[in-house]
Chains A and B, each alone.
Chain A
Amino acid sequence: AQSVTQPDIHITVSEGASLELRCNYSYGATPYLFWYVQSPGQGLQLLLKYFSGDTLVQGIKGFEAEFKRSQSSFNLRKPSVHWSDAAEYFCAVGPLSGGYNKLIFGAGTRLAVHP
């Protein structure tokens, strides 16, 4: 069965520190991979996505993610966290185009940033 696992429910980092949020997926083929961010009471904003090609993907707000096929992972990273990055982060996978398509979301990782 298809699934997405975000092992860390809650992470706290200091402002300026580096960040890595983990995401592992279980899927029969190479899926499309996404990271979304949700601020309190808001919808989801797309940070970045992997479709094919270069396995290191650059996104908005200084985020990047690396697809590692051998580890079925798509971890999100940022070299220096800002206080405004405090939010909920969701990893999601999507099937190939065509037919009935839907995203499968992980449970989310809540990021807190200490000043």
Chain B
Amino acid sequence: GAVVSQHPSWVICKSGTSVKIECRSLDFQATTMFWYRQFPKQSLMLMATSNEGSKATYEQGVEKDKFLINHASLTLSTLTVTSAHPEDSSFYICSARDRFRDREDTQYFGPGTRLTVL
């Protein structure tokens, strides 16, 4: 149980285009989803937290207008990188939490999406 999927697993796009990444909880309802960014050989950096049906809460330094997050249902959150540039190239990982399932706030992670902007 507690499986989280991401799509696509990798994407290559041209500079200036927008890219949408999907995060789905497959066998539970994700009341909260998190989006992380990971640079090579570094730890995860939390970008934003989204609760179903409400606006995402962004971490300091993360551009809200560049990284659009939508959590429209209990099983789906999307991250859209708008007007992508080469410096946005990174590994994006989502996680999901079901507070009704795990009191200790366990996060279940997706497999990640590698974005390369040319």
Q: How would residues 94 to 115 of chain A score, 1 for a CB under 8 Å from any chain B CB and 0 otherwise?
A: 1101001111011110100000
Q: With A and B bound together, what is the CA distance between A105 and B41 in angstroms?
A: 14
Interface residues on A, range: 20 to 34
Q: Are B114 and A41 in contact (CB under 8 A)?
A: yes
Give the total number of A-B pairs whose CB atoms are below 8 A apart.
59
Task: Say whether, besides A41-B112, A43-B112, A102-B49, A34 and B44 are in contact (CB < 8 Å).
Answer: no
Interface, chain A (partner B; CB < 8 A): 32, 34, 36, 41-46, 49, 51, 90, 94-95, 97, 100-103, 105-108, 110
Mostly helix, strand, loop or mixed at chain A's interface? Answer: loop
| B26–chain A nearest beta-carbon distance, Å | 13
Q: Are B104 and A43 in contact (CB under 8 A)?
A: no
Say yes or no for B90: interface residue by CB 8 A criterion. no
A59 CB to nearest B CB, Å: 12
User: Which residue among A36, A43, A49, A102 has the maximum number of chain B CB atoms within 10 Å of its CB?
Assistant: A43
B99 CB–A CB distance under 8 Å? yes
